[in-house]
Amino acid sequence: MPTYEERLRHVVLKIQRAQEHAARLHEHLRAFLAATPYKVAARRDNLSRKPIYFVAAVEPVPDVIPLVAGDALQNLMAALDHLAYQLVCKDTNDQPPNPNWIYFPMADDQAKYDARKTGKMAGARSTTIAAIDALKPYRGGDDVLWSLYRLNNIEKHRLLLTVGSQAGGIHLGQLLAAHLPPEFSPEASTMLKGMTHFLMPADKGFPLTPGFELYMGGPDEPINPSLQFRFQVVLNESGIAEGKAIPDVVREIAERVEAVAAALTPLLK
């Protein structure tokens, strides 16, 4: 009979592997952004005399970014499937009735979850099923777990997750500093320019293309070639994760999977 540590090892290794992929994802994102893939230009509107800042050029997001993100998600889903397998093995004294068909139960809604959960966990005790029920691993229950379920299915059956660029905001401090009344001290302007806050646009322009307008200033306002704009590489799967920064999606799901493992692994003792 395997020990608790031996059963837990399968789950931990998959989570650790997902963390390695998440670290690689950050490395690839940093490399992409360091290559200055976004170019901003400005022109003045002849009628309103307002400066208009727009995207002059944008490089496509490298395929390695959605590939590595997909690898991270696959390992997180595998961690839950390994956990489900070990739970059934523990409950059946390592004689699961359907060892090749054990999966962590998730579904698009509660009705589908209730209909499929015992089939995916054949042999599990009622207390084990109840512990998973409490997690509500379906849409409208735990939407983070549900998003892992859906994104993993997409990643398995399609070449790449839908990833692209969008506008991430304009430097708020620079905007405020440019409109400070003359009676304010130079120190006030310096303080504002040192801010790290960005004003998010209502329209982020996904997928970002040349010509997309980022900001319009006031009439006769001087064009500021140093005005800072931020851009994001985001996941955009309709109804699942729309316009979300891709590392944030992976991090949120990883944290949830770790929490699920922490909640259920005591049942392996």
Inter-helix orientation angle 126-133/110-120, to 10°: 150
- Residues with Cβ within 8 Å of residue 30, at least 6 apart in sequence: none
pLDDT 10s digits, 209-224 = 999 999 999 999 999 9
Q: Model pTM greater than 0.75?
A: yes
Q: What is the rounded CA–CA span in Å between residue 124 and residue 103?
A: 12
| pLDDT tens sequence across 157-211 | 876 899 999 999 998 878 777 777 776 667 766 776 677 788 999 999 999 999 9
For residues 103 and 59, the answer to whether their CB atoms sit within 8 Å is: no
Q: At what angle do helices 64-91 and 126-133 cross, to 10 degrees?
A: 150
Q: Which pLDDT tens digit goes with each residue over 3-15?
A: 999 999 999 999 9
pLDDT value at position 101? Answer: 96
Q: How many angstroms separate the Cα of 193 from the Cα of each of 2, 75, 129, 161?
A: 60, 42, 55, 37
Secondary structure of residue 97 in the 3-state scheme: coil
Q: What is the pLDDT of residues 26-48, one digit of tens each?
A: 999 999 999 999 999 999 999 99
Owner of token pair 């960005």: 198
Q: Return the pLDDT at 175.
A: 76
